[in-house]
Amino acid sequence: MNKHNCYLIALLFFVIACKPNTKPAVAQNKPLVTGPPAGDLLEVLQGRWQNEQDTAYFIEFSGNRMKRIEHDSVSEGCNIKVYIDCPADLCKVDSLTASEGWCFVEMRENGDRCMQILNCDTEHLQFRPLDGDSLILSFKKI
């Protein structure tokens, strides 16, 4: 009887050890913020950028001001504010379109416009509006 109990205990142990874990995965709380502080982004943006698709179109950042320049004429100028993530209340985004990186908000007379930065370094800038427009704008630093 003692030997029979040992086999039964070993069998139970084997069944329990081989049973797959059916617990749902627990979401880890990791911060949404990626990249350096927003102040560093503003510093990298400073200067004039030429559009890679339309070489007569430029944007220029000076402090917290941005100007759009077309054919050597300023077409629009506005203040901007940069963020390390896109605030849902300003950018009107949901979890499907939320940025996990930088964005800037153009504070224009006809309404604010949020831009998600897809790529930004000292040579290249790529962003897209978060207002339903699927256009991706690409610039090179000049």
Q: Note the pLDDT tens digit of each residue in 59-69.
A: 999 999 999 99
For the segment 107-121, the average pLDDT, to the nearest whole number, is 89
- Give the domain CATH number at 57: 2.40.128
CA angle 87, 136, 95 (to 5 degrees): 30
CA distance 6 to 1: 9
**Residue 1: band (very low, low, confident or very high) from pLDDT cuts 50, 70, 90:** low
Structural domain contains residue 26: no
Q: Which of 89, 58, 61, 62 is nearest to 75 (CA)?
A: 58
Number of domains in the chain: 1
Element (H, E) at 125: strand 124-129
User: Domain for residue 16, yes or no?
Assistant: no
Under the banding of pLDDT at 50, 70 and 90, the label for residue 55 is very high
Instruction: Say if 113 falls within a structural domain.
Output: yes
20 part of a folded domain? no
Distance, CA of 67 to CA of 61 (rounded, Å) = 7
Confirm whether 65 is domain-assigned: yes
pTM for the full predicted model:
0.67
The angle subtended at Cα 111 by Cα 107 and Cα 114, nearest 5°, is 60
At 24, is the pLDDT very low, low, confident or very high (cuts 50, 70, 90)?
very low
Domain assignment present for residue 59? The answer is yes
Q: Does residue 133 sit within a domain?
A: yes
Read off the tokens for 10: 């070993």
Joined together, the tokens standing for residue 17 give 């050890």
